[in-house]
Chain A
Amino acid sequence: MKHNLILRLIAKFLFPVIALFAFYVQFHGDYGPGGGFQAGVILSVAFIFYALVYGLKTTEEILPPHVLRLLASSGVLIYAGTGVVSLLMGENFLDYDPLSSEPAAGQHLGILVIELGVGITVSSVMLMIFYAFAGRGQP
């Protein structure tokens, strides 16, 4: 891929666009269609596209596999942790009402944090799957 100038340029241009779209889908999830699952996959697509053009090694230097493993775990922890916070506030698990002064605002905040956890886990797991398949058989 060293000489494909057009591809490399397009990849550089598209990467921020795809990532930005991912964040739009992520943080728009409480008002419109979107959410952590979709956003996570779109974000990982940006990295996979980058890896396809620039090679797996370059991508792994930016986002090493052990960092991904940490991210994937922390996403689940954010999700479950939100539930535990509402437990500690005296409500049932995953009841977002007490997260803010008003129940409606609490619901907003709760779903955003939950979706953030989902998004982090999904994107890092998708990338981990890609690494595992693409890196197989390479030294």
Chain B
Amino acid sequence: MIEQHLSLLLVVIPLIAAPVTAMLPGRRLPWLFTLSVTWVCLLLASWQLSVVMNGSVISYELGGWAPPWGIEYRIDAMNALVAFIVAAIAAVTLPYALRSVEKEIPEYQTSLFYAAILLCLVGLLGIVQTGDVFNLFVFLEISSLSSYVLIAMGKQRRALTAAYQYLIMGTIGATFLLIGIGLIYAETGTLNMLDLNQRLQPIMEHRTVHTGFAFIVVGIALKLALFPLHLWLPNAYTYSPSVISVFLAATATKVAVYIMLRMVFTVFSSSLVVLTSYMFLVLGIVGVILPSISAIFQTDAKRLLAYSSIAQISYMVLGMGFASVLGLTATLVHVFNHALMKGALFMAIGAIVYRVGSSRLENFQGLGRQMPWTFSAILIAGLSLIGIPGTAGFISKWYLVLAALEQQSWLITGVILLGSLLAVIYVWKIVEIMFFRPVPETVIEVREAPASLLIPTWVLVSANLFFGFNTELTVDVAGTAVRLLGVTAP
């Protein structure tokens, strides 16, 4: 019975758990409950992934209404892969949350904080599971609204302005998406993704469809923090509580990449892909270089990583720009691997914030010797970010370079390598300050971070190493997913 309702339970369990969490008292109880829910979700997500890994498709009709009239949850390898990433990151973040949240969130807000995390999880999983574009919009807003709240929980007052800025830009993005959905609904009279695909084919040249497409792409690009629409991202990641930085950096933008892939390749496909291709390539090239350069000049570790995130997102966008099998595989693999490395990096920085109380680089001096485990986590995840062979980051860069070479695009190959070079500089900046600077004499002794923070960090770090050798899960599943997307270009 569970297998039949698998894809639905993945969304409904956290949905039911969220209001329950909001009613639980104290600090430990809401945490323990949320933790168990996320682990159940991870279990269901891996089960779902194992079912669709071979290329089969799960279809679930909500309320017993057959598609295309009712809402359909339609799971293929791509949905399952992204759902697995989201659930896995949530399951790894929650053990980390206990100590970190105790320090950063007042007790009377704790249960609501965990409820908001669960709602955010509901939204992200719902986006991934659903096969209905309006349902997708609703889940997008659920995840966005809860992430605005979570970001505003940051300790500094700038968290408030960051959340406000994100709220304004995020709402504009979501409303653009809504306009686009409305326009294509007016043309076709359906909201089901597959049905839309078929009904849009004969009328692809209509101006309404083009307008709707433009609104949808720009709307998602805002959520995706695609350069130059990334302005909300650095502040949002910098000032939010450590746990939220980890969770959002590793999931939110990845899910937005998924929406973009779904919309462009499943809903519209065919002739309109060409229109976005050039845009994605140009924005990807600029977006790899400029944010990487900005990252080098940052004085705050979290902000540095946020800019690096924008650059990494641009890699995924480059892969979409190729619109080829290899390019999209690279995008999906990078979605997976980037979640691992950014998750690990933000966790390690969060562990330092836990001990030092600040994420400014000037306070990091000499910490490498006092917090060796945290430091080596940053080092390895940083190497993965650069793309050193043996780490997960190398795999995605490798496929991206292959995709670029396949199209004989030397410029883009050069840009990818330059991006890695710039990554060397900003990762070195953190390493140099932490390891080679002497400890300032005014600073009191700093101890290594507690185990409850270190273990989740190291789980992600080892995942970085594991997926650097074992590409079965990432590359094969991504390949199946791309095949199901129906990309025809080589």
Contacts and interface: CB of A to CB of B under 8 A. Distances in A.
Chain B associates with chain A: yes
Interface of A: 69-70, 72-74, 76-77, 80-81, 83-84, 87, 90-97
Contacts of B8: 87, 92-93
A77 B16 CA distance: 6
A93 to B, nearest CB: 5
Contacts, number: 46
Closest 8 CB pairs of A and B: A73-B19, A95-B64, A94-B63, A76-B19, A80-B16, A92-B64, A93-B8, A95-B63
B61 interface: yes
A72 B19 contact: yes
Given A74-B19, A76-B18, A83-B12, 5 more contacts: A69-B22, A73-B22, A76-B15, A92-B61, A95-B64
Interface in B4-51: 5, 8, 12, 15-16, 18-20, 22-23
Contacts of A96: 63
Q: Which applies to chain A's interface (DSSP): helix, strand, loop or mixed?
A: helix
B62 A93 contact: yes
A77 B12 contact: no
A91 B1 CA distance: 10
B481 to A, nearest CB: 25
B64 A87 contact: no
A122 to B, nearest CB: 14
Q: Which applies to chain B's interface (DSSP): helix, strand, loop or mixed?
A: helix
Given A91-B64, A92-B62, A93-B5, A70 B23 contact: yes
Contacts of A97: 64
23 contacts: A69-B22, A70-B23, A72-B19, A73-B19, A73-B20, A73-B23, A74-B19, A76-B18, A76-B19, A77-B16, A80-B12, A81-B16, A84-B12, A90-B1, A92-B5, A92-B8, A92-B60, A92-B64, A93-B5, A93-B8, A93-B62, A94-B62, A95-B63
Nearest to A91: B64
Contacts of B20: 73, 77
Interface size class of B (residues with CB under 8 A): 10 to 19
Given A76-B18, A87-B5, A93 B12 contact: yes
Contacts of A87: 5, 8
A92 B16 contact: no
B26 to A, nearest CB: 14
A86 to B, nearest CB: 8
A80 B15 contact: yes
Nearest to A92: B64
A93 B8 CA distance: 8
Nearest to A107: B63
Interface in B55-78: 60-64
A136 to B, nearest CB: 14
Q: Which residue of A81, A95, A97 has the most chain B CB atoms within 10 A of its CB atom? A: A95
B157 to A, nearest CB: 16
Contacts of B1: 90
A29 to B, nearest CB: 17
Nearest to A83: B12
Contacts of B62: 92-94
A93 B63 contact: yes
Nearest to B17: A80
Contacts of B63: 92-96
